[in-house]
Structure 1
Amino acid sequence: MTRQHSRAGTKGVPRAAREQQVLAAATAEFGRHGYEATTVADIAARVGVTKALVHQYFGSKQDLCLACLDPIGDRLLAAIRAAMAEGVTGAPPTPLRVLHGLFTALDEQREAWFVLYDASLPPGTDAARRAAYYRDAIDDLAAIGTADLLHAAGSGDPLDADALTHAWRGLCTALVRWWINHPDQSPEAMTRRCARLFAAGRTILAGGDTS
């Protein structure tokens, strides 16, 4: 994927604002290209500062990745927990609420999802462990939701729950990847699209597909 750098100037920007610019650029680069393929020079060029300045503010590339992970992970966990707690009469089903929460949390930087789900993070590093912590926390919430769905459907097989949790993770990842390629789609539009897809899936699985 071709990198497109946007220079933001190098003077007259308060340090706190510059740090946020660097974090946003790093999240974009790590999310789009993966940890292994991203360099500090790429991130610095995207902001319009020197590589030395990025190191001065954040330390090593792994330290910078760690600085990106916490805001992303915390934002996603908060969105999922809020969505799962919103079960009131007339509210959309939990899966749709969760997806809407994810889309809303990611709307300003959709590729952030792939900073957490990055297979190129070096195994055993602090960054890999931190990303795994957030992925596990998201999976734990997904497991609660899928167990409730399966219980309502009459399935008590724990392997069913485990399989559905993995399928849900893959579905979320696939939807976010599609969404990145369709930047005109708002979180609300994505949620409505998912509702239509779920409805179509139920019809097909119930044998209502006459094609």
Structure 2
Amino acid sequence: MTMLSSRAGTKGVPRADRERQVLAAATEEFGRRGFEATTMAAIATRVGVTKPLLHQYFGSKQDLYLACLDPVGDRLLDAIRNAMAGHGTGAPPTPLRVLHALFDALDGRREAWFVLYDPSLPPGSDAAHRAAHYRDAIDDLAATGAAELLRTAGSGDPLDADALKYAWRGLCTALIRWWINHPDQTPEAMTRRCARLAAASHAILAADNGHT
């Protein structure tokens, strides 16, 4: 994973490179600690700049959060849309394609998922509204995928699709949290693990049905 856990230093560094350093560090801080617990001073210290310089470049903490959020949200949405459109003969099932796309998009910045799914954002703030925009867009894609899967399985109940959408969000969050705690796992290894878990779950459910 790409991490800026020590002072990066900025003397003689072009502004564009400084801004990239700040955004990488801030994304990880917001993802790890949440908006409420993250401070501009901690980000400035980590990157090796002064707090006034950080405000000069990005404005308020909320402005910096938004500068981190938009690339994360856009990258995840693009990854999910491309994965859902990439079906064909011999392609993995849609859920596995989406999971691999998420792992690939987050590789090197795994905490970025929790920038988007941050419960500490101030209610009613621009940050909360913008994060909700991305979450809603991802939920809409999940709802489409859930409905297609259930139609294939013979279920037309819209509440089934709604329940599956929420379960999918929780599953993705749990897997990414596990992944953060296992930094040696590549996106490919995570996808293979998910395929094994899905196969095992299917076998368990099939066995249970056989005894009812």
Distance in 2, matches of 1:114 and 1:165, equals: 18
Quick one: percent identity of the two aligned structures? 79
Q: Please give the per-residue CA displacement for 1:70-107, whole angstroms capped at 9, x wherever unaligned.
A: 00000000000000011010000000000000000000
Alignment TM-score, normalising by the size of structure 2? 0.95
Q: Distance in 1 between matches of 2:52 and 2:172?
A: 37
Distance (Å, rounded) in 1 between the aligned partners of 2:190 and 2:5: 28
Q: Which amino acid aligns with 2:34?
A: G
Which residue number corresponds to residue 13 of structure 1? 13
Matches of 2:191 and 2:5, distance apart in 1: 31
| Distance in 2 (alpha carbons) for counterparts of 1:120 and 1:208 | 40
1:157 aligns with 2:157: yes
Structure 2 gaps, min length 5: none
Further displaced range: 4-13 or 191-200? 4-13
SS at match of 1:207: helix
How far did 1:46 drift?
1.2
Is 1:46 paired with 2:28? no
Task: Name the counterpart of 2:63.
Answer: 63
Matched with 1:173 is: 173
Query: RMSD value over aligned CA atoms?
Result: 1.3
Matches within 5 A, 1:31-180: 31-180=31-180
After superposition, the Cα gap between the structure-2 partners of 1:209 and 1:186, relative to the gap in structure 1 and judged at 3 Å, is: farther
The letter for the 2-side match of 1:119 is P
Structure 1 residues 124-175: Cα deviation after superposition (integer angstroms, max 9, x where no partner): 1111100000000000000000000000011111110000000000000000
Q: Is the CA contact (8 Å cut-off) linking 1:80 and 1:98 kept in structure 2?
A: yes
Q: CA deviation at 1:5?
A: 3.8
The 1:41/1:209 distance shift into structure 2, 3 A limit, reads farther
Do 1:203 and 1:209's aligned partners in 2 also have CA atoms closer than 8 Å? Answer: no
> Displacement, 1:10?
2.5
- Give the Å deviation of 1:9: 1.4
Q: Matches of 1:119 and 1:10 in 2, distance apart?
A: 32
Instruction: Find the aligned partners of 2:16 and 2:127 in 1 and give their Cα distance.
Output: 23
Paired residues, what number?
A: 207
> d(CA) in 2 for partners of 1:119 and 1:27?
15
Distance (whole Å) between structure 2 residues aligned to residue 209 and residue 159 of structure 1: 22
Gaps of 5+ in 1: none
Letter of the 1:82 counterpart: N
In the aligned structure 1, how far is the partner of 2:52 from the partner of 2:5? Answer: 18
**Counterpart-to-counterpart distance in 1, 2:5 and 2:170:** 30
Which stretches of structure 1, 4 residues or more, deviate above 3 A after TM superposition? none
* Letter of the 2:17 counterpart: A
Cα distance between partner residues in 2 of 1:200 and 1:139: 26
CA distance in 2, matches of 1:162, 1:140: 10
In 2, distance between residues paired with 1:208 and 1:136?
A: 35
